[in-house]
Structure 1
Amino acid sequence: MPTIQIGRSEIAYELRRSATAAERRITVTPGHVEVLALTTDGDDDITGFLDRKRQWLFNTVRDMERITAGRHAVPRFMTGSKIPYRGRKMPLTVRRTDAERASATYRNGFIVDLPHWIGNDPDQLVASELKHWLKQRARRDVNEIAAAIGKKHGLTPRSIRVADLANGWGSCGPEGNVLINWHLIFAPRKVLEYVVAHELAHLHVRSHGPEFWRCVELILPHWRSSRAWLDQHQSELSADFIAP
């Protein structure tokens, strides 16, 4: 593994090249430094980039070591924390980068990259990035499910969007405007499919009588197991763990 000498400190790093990256990047996690380089970069390009980042890299590694060593209470959002997503608890990795803003991605777990200017208490920013990512994914999933149902069964709402709902998992207004609680992103996808199907069925039948449930059955034959899961686990589907 290559290293860079900064004063008396020798910092080892993993060099990774990317054909799709638009710029070079350094990420720092506890015990690990990754340098992302362009495929066109030669040794001199990488050396020059690291030279320009020497002070930032030294300070960031030192701060990370100090935070890890002196941490008594485990924060909610640190590398190794578990974030609920689609019925599972997925691992979180929090990294320091030389970027100007925070970002969240998902690759077999959540990755939140923090910008260089964040201090030693990043919980609120990590929470904000996670919430934004989860709401965006909920919106995408709801639109995909609604489009598939609309194409197959001709049930197309006037509008459909995700929202924070104080009560219930969804609603369908008299004018055909559908709301879906974004907290359903914490449930298995089949449960989200059930709630979307339930609200779209109200476009055809407003009440909850036998005709309505026949419509739900036609849209989603496995709806009973999904509703049973929701009845059993609904108290767990909360974003209270995420800071406002």
Structure 2
Amino acid sequence: MGIVRIGQTEITYDLRRSSTASERRITVTPGHVEVVALTSDDEAEIDAFLTRKRQWLFNALRELETTTAKRAVVLRFMTGSKIPYRGRMARLTVHRHGGPHIEISYRNGFLVDLPSWVGEEDQDAVVSSEIKLWLKRRVRRDVLEIASSYGRRFGLKPRSIRVADMKTGWGACGPAGSILINWTLVFAPKAVLEYVVVHELAHLSVRSHGPDFWMYMAKLMPDFARSKGWLDQNQGSMNADLFTSTRPIIDAT
């Protein structure tokens, strides 16, 4: 690991020598700077390259810091990262294996078995995409189980139930009885997801949000107020952008 000093700022970087690279380059991603040098480069040539690129490197880090500060994201999809799931931040562990398929499991944290054919430069994008798909499948399963349970107990039978990306809102109940649930509720505690599903099921009987509706909600789910309060307080932190990784900034000689 090396250090570049720009004024009072010290920037650490990892140095990688490449026999296939045709030019030196610097790649900046959240929390990580990599310098790729030619195998023929000596320390003086690397130092000279970094000296020429000091201002660019400083500006790139400032740009990345500004971008990530504007939205909550999972910065890197690597061992030790934290993934939002059911109201908590779950630890991510990435293992490499020789099999052909990507496998994901959850037990007090996410474990991703990543095939060796996935390149290091593609790991963030691949792991992000696979975990997002896993989460969507899990929340869909949870929604159907909740709807089935309340349907049996209270005779609430929607025409259809679908889990999808929603630009606004957490759920909807159409005039024909079709229910739509926002998949990003997987980031909330399961009781909050249950509240939203029950809320939309309740609209099958009471279409408005007047006193009759909330009385009916209390009949269906007596403790709904706690989950409603959690959602009101935390809704700003739950969105699909959590899984929109920041693109690396790359500069070369």
1:199 aligns with 2:204: no
The verdict on how the C-alpha distance between 1:75 and 1:170 changes in structure 2, with shifts beyond 3 A counting, is closer
Residue 240 of structure 1: SS of its match in structure 2? helix
Aligned to 2:79: 79
Corresponding letter in the other structure for 1:208: H
Shift of 1:72: 3.9
Instruction: Give the 5 Å matches for 1:165-180.
Output: 165-180=166-181
- What is residue 95 of structure 2 aligned with on the other side? 95
Look up the SS of the partner of 1:196 in the other structure: helix
Structure 2: which amino acid aligns with 1:81? S
2-structure distance, mates of 1:90, 1:72: 25
Give yes or no for contact 1:172–1:203 (8 Å, CA) kept in 2: yes
Letter in 2 for 1:108: N
| Aligned-partner residue type, residue 92 of structure 1 | L
Are the aligned partners of 1:105 and 1:133 in contact in 2 as well (CA < 8 Å)? no
Kindly report structure 1 stretches of 4+ aligned residues shifted beyond 3 Å.
Answer: 71-75
In the alignment, does 2:139 pair up with 1:138?
yes
CA-CA distance at 1:238 after TM superposition: 1.5
Deviates more, 1:166-175 or 1:100-109: 100-109
Q: Which secondary structure state, in structure 1, belongs to the residue aligned with residue 105 of structure 2?
A: strand
Unaligned runs of 5+ in 1: 1-70
Partner residue, 2:184: 183
* Shift in Å, 1:243: 3.6
Report % sequence identity.
57
Which amino acid is 2:110 matched to? F
| Partner SS state of residue 203, structure 1 | coil
The secondary structure found in structure 2 opposite 1:112 is strand
Q: Does 1:164 align with 2:173?
A: no
- 1:234 corresponds in structure 2 to 235
Counterpart position of 2:106: 106
In structure 1, C-alpha distance between the alignment counterparts of 2:86 and 2:78, rounded to whole Å? 20
Q: Kindly state the Cα deviation for residue 161 of structure 1 after the two structures are TM-superposed.
A: 1.4
Q: Which has the higher contact order (CA 8 A, sep 6+)?
A: 2
Q: d(CA) in 2 for partners of 1:184 and 1:146?
A: 15
- Quick one: which amino acid aligns to residue 165 of structure 1? M
Bigger shift: residues 102-111 or 150-159? 102-111
User: RMSD value over aligned CA atoms?
Assistant: 1.6
TM-aligned CA deviation for residue 215 of structure 1? 1.1
Amino acid at match of 1:234: Q
Secondary structure in 1 matching 2:145: helix
**Count of residues in correspondence between the two structures:** 174
